[in-house]
Structure 1
Amino acid sequence: MSIVVMLAAGVLSACSNSSNSSSSNSQTMNTAASNEISTLDSSKYGDTTSSEVLQNSMEGLYRFDKNNKAQLAGATKVTRSKDQKVYIFTLRKNAKWSNGDPVTAQDYVTAWRRTVDPKNSSLDSDSYAIIKNGTKITQGKAKVNSLGIKALGKYKLQVTLADPIPYLPEILEGAQFYPQDTKVVKKLGSKYGTSSSNLVYNGPFVVKGWTGSNLKWSFVKNKNYWNKKSVQLKRVNVQVVQTTSTGVNLFRSGSLDYVPLSSDFVKQYQNNKEYHSKVTPTNGYLTFNIKRKTTGNVHVRRAISEAINKKQLVNTILHAGRPSNGIVASNFITDPSTGKDYRKDAGDMVTYNVAAARKEWKIAQKQLGKKKISLELLTSDVDDAKRVGEFIQSNLMKNLPGLTITVRSIPLKSRLSNTTNHTYDFVYGTWQPSYEDPLDFLTVGGLFNLEQDYKNKNFWHQIDLARSTYAARPKQRLQALIAAENQLIKKDAFAAPLYQAGASYLLKSKVKGFKLSPYGNVAYYWNVEIK
């Protein structure tokens, strides 16, 4: 789920509602989205906006409550085996799809199998490594129907894990684990999720008005949602905004009640009573195409990793967040074996060090037989992404003599496609985690083509130890995870961590109960009320 947490790719007039539309009578909210929707197929999405739409309109076995704690939602009861590998969920019998169909155990089986099926090229299939045979299936080494999920009855679901894990509720809350109406999937085929009408919903809202390519849509309260009495908003009108200045103007005029802020507006509004900000576990990072000769050279990657002044990037370009010296976020995961933040236990993997970067660069030039090297940096075309790209371009060309960087900024959908298809040298993106464990950052984490391209035996051995042998042994598991991160980031520089993003936004004071996800910038609307 690689993302760009900034304002995005198109501008529209306000969604036909003026400032008085967000009244306590109408319970209507008008908001701005960060990017266009790529798809509403939970087996195929790979961006923040699509995730946000799915999380407000769909529901899995768990859902985050108003305190951002995972609670049973689509299920009413769960039991597990003594070895903590087999879970049996009793599904909610009053849960229905928006077309009136019951939400059944088979709907989970259908969805999960579609996501791991290699032919669907899911960007989130790696998340299924926790499920029995999940990794083998995504690698084409096992049949899709061997996945550790089984319908024991209409409302009884069995889930078998590859190994015991401590974070199952949090990961099963994610959109990649949502059910899909089996009848609708079969009926629509390749059209499933390609527009708001080519989908049915089992969450707090249904989506209206998305044609598959337009830049506005609405959430409408789902009359078939089992917990509809808890949902106060009747409608949320969403529009993609091209520039932050446009969004801010719409907010100030009363046409928007919520708008994310890009970095250049943080200083201007940070003392405003309607300004909100927090450091999130969302990573800004670079990842490299190791199939290409130049970026396949480890010394090139190490040089680039150490040649970027991350503190200056945060202070002068982003104005929010903090620099990152590891791919696993800080102040997010407390290790049970030490009681400390994982990042403190693991330490710095890669820091800004021009002397060390130039030493690596000289080795790279010698091995490649070139004094002058040209590379292309791929980014999305939103304002902040382009600014970060330009900063990286300037830093690298200044600190690594003989290097020429060109920046190619394209729509997020195209950027995701380019990275999946290996048509890039290196790419800048952001990653919002799905659950509170280092494995999310180390094995998913927006690390494009990790499983198919990165074959380091020590890394995968340490990951396997963390997933299996040490799954219930916290101290040994911590050491395996640190060793894996050290191999991936410090030794092999498969990716270069840059920063942890700050989520900054403006919100009307009359909007109560608004939350961002604990993992990043996804907005939750099901607890919101206009007062």
Structure 2
Amino acid sequence: MKRNKFWLLGTLILTVTFILSACGNQNSSNSSNKQVLTVATSAEMATLSTTKYSDTTSLEALQNTFEGLYRFNSQNKPVLAGASKVSISSNKKVYTFTLRKNARWSNGDPVTAKDYVFAWRKMVDPTAASPNSQRFESIKNGVAIASGKMASTKLGIKALGTYKLQITLESPISYFSELMTGAPFYPQDEKIVKKYGNQYGTTAKKTVFNGPFVVTNWNGTNLKWNYVKNKKYWDKKAIKLQKVNVQVIKDASTAANLYKTNKLDYAMLTTDYIKQYQKTSGFHSKTIPLIGYMSFNTHRKTTANIHFRKAIAMAFNKESLVKNVLHTGSTLNGIVPKNFAYNTTTGDDYRKDAGNMLTYNLKEAKKQWAEARKELGKRKISIELLTSDTTDSKQIGEYLQSQLETNLPGLSVSLRSIPLKSRLAATTDYDFDIVYGTWQPDYADPVNFISDGGQYHLDDDYNNRNFRNLLNEAATKYATNPTKRWSTLIKAEKQLIKTDAFTAPVYQGGTAYLLKNKVKGLQLSPYGTVLFYRNVSIK
């Protein structure tokens, strides 16, 4: 399986901006304003297929136009959505859902249990090479199927009737409802997917939707599209917003200037613009469980060298990056961020319990650098750092380039900044030495970062037996023992990050934005900066 998370990876996340359209009379008697929002995002959309996405722009589109068994409500708590009720077995491993009989796809087809079965089986099928297949590890037989040891028909999901769906887990998990809000667990209209084959999800016209909005006017490559209220959505009366216009604008300064001149009602700020606008009315800032990281191509001799990876991971000043470049967020010395997951027994923060794993340590970095050059037989080493072409990604790439070349004598770092869609493809195809990206989680548990976390080709290339055994123990043997499970996950993270430096943590992200009070109900996802339009209205 190939892995190129969006998560992971979209470095666009901190640069989304929103532009309010001109006001006008609406047909509705409830408002004198036209319920239309115009949005500028910093990166292009890659796909509308729930089995293929790995970028934040695509994820935002999916989470506003599709719906699974659960969704987040206005308080960012998971509630039933595509299902009207659920029963849970006494051993907490079997969930039986009753689907809504009035749920429809945007073409009028009913949303049935078979649509979930079809989509999930395709997701775990190794021939589909979905970048999100690892999300099904907690579903019965998910791991065996993804590794090619079992047929996808053995996945723990069954259609017990047209509107009755049963899901069986390998072991009980406390975050099941949160997990089910994620895009990989959405259904697909089997008839439409089979009609378009590999072309499904490549354009708006070759996709159907079951969420509050549908995508229109996206041909697969253009930089403008729309979200339009879905007339077939079962809960359409609750949706106030009629339309969202989306345009890709990669220059963050353009968005900031539009807000300043009252042409923007919501603007996400990045890097220098955070400092510039932090005293502006409507400014908000907070740390979020988003991470920036570097992944290494272990198929190349230099980046496969463990001493080289450790040298890179410890040779840049993280405090300076956060303070002088990002102006938000905090340092990150492990793959799991702080203030994200808490021990259900003690209430302690996971990051505090796990401690630091790869810190800025120039003395140790130079020691590892000397070992790397010795083993590689080179005094001078040249590598390329791949980033997306958004403003913040390029600035972070330039900072890393400067720090690494200064602190590791004999190292030459060239930068390649390309559109996000191209960067994702290059990473999937192993066309990189080191790639910088960002990733945001899907549910509040450390395993989401340790077994995924945007780490490219983790399943394919990191085959450490101890790591795999520890993850398996956490998922099965200690599934109902929070204390043992916690300590086992910490051991797994130490193996992955501290011992093997498979990934280099860079920083924990923050979000900063300007918001005018005429836009009501706009939500940021609880684990990052994906926006939910469902509850938005223009006053």
Tell me the TM-score normalized by structure 2.
0.95
Partner of 1:201: 209
CA distance, structure 2, for counterparts of residue 177 and residue 128 of structure 1? 9
- CA apart distance, 1:249: 2.9
3-state SS of the aligned residue for 2:116? helix
- What SS does structure 1 have at the residue aligned with 2:510? strand
Match for residue 489 of structure 1?
497
* Aligned partners of 2:68 and 2:180 also within 8 Å: yes
> Match for residue 88 of structure 2?
80
Preserved contact between residue 167 and residue 435 of structure 1 (Cα < 8 Å)? yes
1:6 and 2:12 aligned: yes
Paired position in structure 1 for 2:328? 320
**1:398: how far off?**
0.8
Alignment of 1:331-410 (within 5 A): 331-410=339-418
Quote how far apart the aligned CAs of 1:10 are. 13
Quick one: which of 275, 280, 293 aligns to 1:285?
293
- Describe how 1:513-528 pairs up with structure 2 within 5 A: 513-528=521-536
State whether structure 2 residue 79 is matched by structure 1 residue 71: yes
* 1:436–1:21 Cα change, 3 Å: farther
Structure 1, 328-337 or 501-510: larger mean CA deviation? 501-510
Q: How many angstroms apart in 1 are the aligned matches of 2:52 and 2:10?
A: 17
In the alignment, the residues of structure 1 paired with residue 287 and residue 16 of structure 2 have an alpha-carbon distance, to the nearest angstrom, of: 26
How far does residue 441 in structure 1 lie from its aligned partner after superposition?
Answer: 0.2
Provide the residue aligned with 1:498 in structure 2. 506
Displacement, 1:520? 0.4
Equivalence map 1:412-423=2 (5 Å): 412-423=420-431
CA contact (8 A) 1:33 1:259 kept: no
TM-superposed CA distance for 1:229, in Å, is 1.6
CA drift of 1:109 comes to: 0.8
Distance 1:120 1:256, change over 3 A: farther
Q: Is this contact kept in 1: 2:42–2:251, CA < 8 A?
A: no
Q: Deviations over 1:309-336 (max 9, x none)?
A: 1111111111111110110011011111
Shift of 1:24: 4.6
User: Would you say the 8 A contact 2:65–2:213 is kept in 1?
Assistant: yes
Pick closer, same or farther for the CA change 1:123–1:462 going to 2, 3 Å.
same
In the TM superposition, what whole-angstrom CA distance separates every residue of 1:224-252 from its partner, at most 9, and x where no partner exists?
11111211111111111120122223334
1:191 aligns to 2:223 (yes or no) = no
User: Residue 512 of structure 1 aligns with which residue?
Assistant: 520
Counterpart contact for 2:19–2:38, Cα < 8 Å = yes
Paired letter, 1:257: D
SS at match of 1:267: helix
Which of 165, 178, 186 is residue 178 of structure 1 equivalent to?
A: 186
CA positional deviation for 1:431: 0.5
CA–CA distance in structure 1, aligned partners of residues 255 and 398 of structure 2: 23
Alpha carbons 1:462, 1:483 under 8 Å: kept = yes
Q: Provide, for residues 286-343 of structure 1, a one-character-per-residue CA deviation record: whole Å limited to 9, x for no partner.
A: 1111121111111111111111111111111111111101100110111112211111
Task: Name the aligned partner's letter for residue 74 of structure 1.
Answer: G
Aligned to 2:54: 46
Give 1:100's aligned residue. Answer: 108
Q: For residue 64 of structure 1, report the CA deviation from its aligned partner.
A: 0.2
Structure 1 CA distance for aligned equivalents of residues 134 and 382 of structure 2: 32
Alpha-carbon spacing, 1:83–1:450, altered in 2? closer, same or farther (3 Å): same
Q: Is 1:55 matched with 2:48?
A: no
Superimposed CA distance per residue, residues 39-82 of structure 1 (whole angstroms, 9 cap, x where no aligned partner): 00000000001000110111000000000000111111111222
Which has the larger displacement, 221-230 or 519-528? 221-230
CA contact (8 A) 1:6 1:262 kept: no
Where does structure 1 lack aligned partners over 5 or more consecutive residues? Answer: none
Q: Which moved more, 1:477-486 or 1:414-423?
A: 414-423
Deviation per residue, 1:133-166 (Å, 9 max, x gap): 2122222221121111111100001111122111
Which residue of structure 1 lines up, in the alignment, with residue 442 of structure 2?
A: 434
Over 3 Å counting, the alpha-carbon distance change for 1:218 and 1:256 in structure 2 is farther
| In structure 2, distance between residues paired with 1:465 and 1:374 | 40
Report Cα offsets for 1:450-495 as digits up to 9, x if no partner: 1111111111111111111001100000110000000100010000
Residue 3 of structure 2: aligned partner:
none
Partner of 2:271: 263
The 8 Å contact of residues 15 and 239 in structure 1, kept in 2 or not, is answered as no
Determine if contact 1:7/1:241 at 8 Å carries over to the other structure.
Answer: no
- Asked if structure 2 preserves the Cα contact closer than 8 Å seen for 1:8 and 1:241, the reply is no
1:480 to 482, 488, 494: 488
Pair 167,457 (structure 1): closer, same or farther in 2 beyond 3 Å: same
Query: CA contact under 8 A between 1:334 and 1:342: conserved in structure 2?
Result: yes
Give the total of aligned pairs: 529
Shift of 1:420: 1.5
Q: Are 1:126 and 2:134 an aligned pair? A: yes
Percent pairwise identity: 54
Equivalence map 1:225-236=2 (5 Å): 225-236=233-244
